[in-house]
Every structure is written in C-alpha cells, then in structure tokens.
Amino acid sequence: MMNKTLILMGVFFVSLCASLHGVEVSIEADGMLNVDGERLFVLGFYDMPTADGELDRLAAAGVNLVHSKADSASLDLLHERGLYGWLGTTNSIDLSEDVASREEALRGMTAEFNDHPALLVWEVPDEALWNTWYGAEIWRRHKEPGEQKEAISTISDVALRDKLSEEREAIDRLQMIGKNKEAEAMADDLWRTLGVDPPHPGYGLGNAEERATVQCAGMVKGYHFLKGLSGRPIWMNHAPRNQIEQLAAYNHGADIVGCDIYPVPENSSIDHSDLANKKLSCVGDFTRRMGNAAPGKPVWMVLQGFGWGDIQRQRSEEERKVLRRPSKSESRFMAYDAIVHGARGILYWGSAYVEKDSSFYEELLQVVGELRDIQEVLASPDANFDIQTRFEQVQGSVDRDIVVLAKKAAGTPWLLVVNEWTGPLVTTLSGLDALNGMKYRERYSGEILEIEQGAVRLHMSSRSVKVLEPLD
C-alpha cells in the first residue's frame, strides 16, 4: 500500500512539474514553429469567445493559437482545451522612453506568464510602424482642415476671413505635393492667428519618419530585453502598408512577422490593399512582401474573419450590405494563396464582430478544419522542385499565374496548386521528373491524375485551389 501511494505521489509530482513549466518553442530553419519537438503550422484566432462551448468549438475546428487576455485564468482555459495562447506586450516593449518602468513591466509580465504551459509567443503592439503615420494623417489631412475651416467661417472680418481661407488652401496645396513640414508649420501658425494654441504642435506627416525611427530603435531594444528574460518567440503584425525598407528596420525587433489584409469585397470604397492589385490575390502579394522584408523569418498572415460592414456601423444599411463578409470559397482561396507564397501560419481577425451562429462563421471554421486535416502536410518542409507552369491560350490578358507549392510530407510530396487569375486556366506543371508514374488524387474532388514525362495537366477554375495527395 505504501509503495502504491508513493508511486501515485510521484506521478502527481511529475504531472505538477510539467504543468509548471512552459512549452519548448523554437523556430526551425525553414520558419516553421516547433512546439515540444513537433512542427506546427499555426491556425489562430484573435477572438477568444466567452460564450459556453465556443472555445471548445474553436479547438474542435482545428484552431491551435488564440489571443489571450493577460491573466492566468484565460491561459488556463486555453490549456484545458489543448490550445496555445499569445499575449501582447503593450507599449512596454518600446524602450525609447520611460525605460525603467517599461523594463519593470516586462519583467513582471515575464515572471507571471512565461512558464504557463499555454503561452506560445508574445506579440508587440499591432501595426506599430503604420500607426506612427496614420494618426498624423488622420489629424493633418482630415480633422485639422475641417476644424480650421469651421473656425475661419465664424470670423466677422471679411478681409481676414478671406486671407485665412487662402492660407488654408495654400496648406492643402502643399500637402498635395508632399511638402508636409512646410504645410504643418503653416497650419500651426494658422491656429495661432485664430487665437488658439496648436492642438498637436510638431506632430504630423512631416516628422513621421523621425518618430518612427525613434520608436523602431526603442522596440528593437525592447525585443532584445524581453528575449533575454523570456526566450520565447516574439511576433510583429504590420498593416498592409509601408515600404520594404521601413518594414525591414522594424522587423529586427521580432522573430516572426506578418500583416493583416482584408480585401473583400474587391475594389470597394475600403481599398484595404494599397497595391495596384486590389483582388483577392493581393493576399499572396503581401505574403511575399512580408517575406522580403524579413529574410529567413517566418511569416504569419492575418486574414479576414469579418465583413467591413460589421465594423463600420456608422454606414447605412445599404452600404453595409455591399461591404459583405467573404464567401467560403473566398476564405479558402485567401488561406491557400498565403500558404503557397510561404506563410507559416494563418490567423483570423474580426470574428468578435460576427454572430457565432452565422453561416459565415461556420464556413470560416470549415476552412480552418480543412487546414487542420492536412496539418501534417502544411507543417512539413517544402520539397525541392523547380516547377514550371504553362497555361494554354485563352481570350483574357492573364496577368496572374498558377502558383504551386510542393510539401515534403511522409513519402511522396504533396502539391498545393492555386490559380490566382480571375478566369479558368488549363495549365501544365512540369519539372516533376522525379515523380514520373506517380498517381495523385485531388483531395476534394476525387480527380485522379498521373505524372507523365515529368508533367501533369490541370483544369483550374477561377481562383481555385487543388490539393494533390499521392496515392499509395
């Protein structure tokens, strides 16, 4: 009886020790996350639902990473369901100012959460680089002009009113040609002429680069400080904006990078993509941009888990209907488009704004479930094939191509194929000589294909995906 009791106590002790130590997390050479010795393709949600059963629903769908509140109880809920969580660092990661108190905040955060078995990674403030520009743009290009024009309109002295109106127009002209410093200095002087202290003196697009440089240095410094305390990966999400050089500088302060891009509906008043490409395939373009801005680092892409009408409640009912949610086929295309362009993780933002009993939410989880079912494939290394694509002639311009990713899953490689063009294409994939004689099945249609003379011919519908799995 004594021996049995000691054994049970020993088992309890080992279990307790395991629960008191965090997971081992590393990044492999190809950018895939390794968690406790297993490669993991990240499937994440920003929304951590509180309604009964909804967190279990996420876990059942295949989600493996959720944005947690900064408390142990929330992390406990995730751990109980086999889910991992990530925590935000807040502005404490920016050591460009208030250094002592921010370092102390990072120490406290690490001491409290770093060893929790659900904590996977830290995240720095969202869209930090873009926000150094965006806030200034909102003020200088939108709010300030309106406030100044309104103040000018109340002046009874006609001559003075006309003079100040001309000054405001001159400011607008300077802004239109990018002379922001001169325009913003004039705007501050205009406030003074109106008898008002400038609300935000020295704050604008004219010094956004300098402010971003200071913030960037502070965040890189904070990154090294937190890494020294924690050792866990740190990831940075950008807006779909800014130039590669700017992004690259900030990316020195992260182990994992990515951006959010929400292009549905295409060519709408939202224009979330500021690239020439406003189509769904801009997801692939931004995935490549993130990789180019952080060579050798994994890219996680944040995709659309909402409709713009869900978050822009100020719009009319008619406008909100136009700003619809993605269809299932659109969500599926965007996920695979990110993957074939190198994404090592997919996360969804905005689901907090949609009904959990909606068809959209269920379809989104079905897309996640499809990715869960091939988790082992997605997490496997890329296969080294020099695959060429050649499509047969059609009447269209065809300014997008077929994109192929070969994955080195157990045994014979799988092929993930995406047609980025807006019309159907008949394409031949070549460079597959090592697979001659192999038969493949398209996982979802059941179509059987054979590699012959190093090539295979595919019929791809508009913006479609084929998942080719080898037959035994």
pLDDT in tens, 370-384: 999 999 999 999 999
Segment 75-91 mean pLDDT = 97
Segment 53-68 mean pLDDT = 98
Structure confidence by residue, pLDDT tens digits, 416-466: 999 999 999 999 999 999 999 999 999 999 999 999 999 999 999 999 999
Q: Are 27 and 256 in contact (CB under 8 A)?
A: yes
Flag whether pLDDT at 54 surpasses 60: yes
Q: Are 81 and 59 in contact (CB under 8 A)?
A: yes
Q: Are 221 and 250 in contact (CB under 8 A)?
A: no
Beta bridge partners of 59: none
Total residues found in the chain within this entry: 472
Instruction: Quote the pLDDT of residue 202.
Output: 84
Q: Under CATH, domain 22-128+211-378 is a member of which superfamily?
A: Glycosidases (3.20.20.80)
Instruction: Quote the pLDDT of residue 160.
Output: 97
The domain locations on the chain are: 22-128+211-378, 380-470
Confidence of residue 312 (pLDDT cuts 50, 70, 90): very high
Instruction: Quote the pLDDT of residue 5.
Output: 38
Q: Are 123 and 154 in contact (CB under 8 A)?
A: no
Instruction: Quote the pLDDT of residue 411.
Output: 82
What CA–CA distance (Å, rounded) separates 109 from 92? 10
Chain-wide mean pLDDT for the chain? Answer: 94
Segment 332-358 mean pLDDT = 98
Residue whose pair of structure tokens reads 């292009």 in the numeric block:
263
Positive or negative: CA dihedral 293, 302, 369, 425: negative
What CA–CA distance (Å, rounded) separates 398 from 369? 32
The whole-angstrom distance between residue 109's C-alpha and the CA centroid of its chain comes to 24
Percent of the chain with pLDDT over 90: 93
Instruction: Quote the pLDDT of residue 410.
Output: 80
What CA–CA distance (Å, rounded) separates 287 from 269? 23
Flag whether pLDDT at 17 surpasses 70: no
Segment 393-403 mean pLDDT = 94
What CA–CA distance (Å, rounded) separates 22 from 230? 10
Nearest to 259 by CA among 290, 305, 291, 293: 290
Percent of the chain with pLDDT over 70: 96
Flag whether pLDDT at 11 surpasses 60: no
Phi-psi region of 49 (alpha: psi -120 to 50; beta: other; left: phi over 0): beta
Flag whether pLDDT at 239 surpasses 70: yes
380-470 folds as: Immunoglobulin-like (2.60.40)
Instruction: Quote the pLDDT of residue 21.
Output: 65
Confidence of residue 8 (pLDDT cuts 50, 70, 90): very low
Flag whether pLDDT at 20 surpasses 90: no
Instruction: Quote the pLDDT of residue 268.
Output: 86
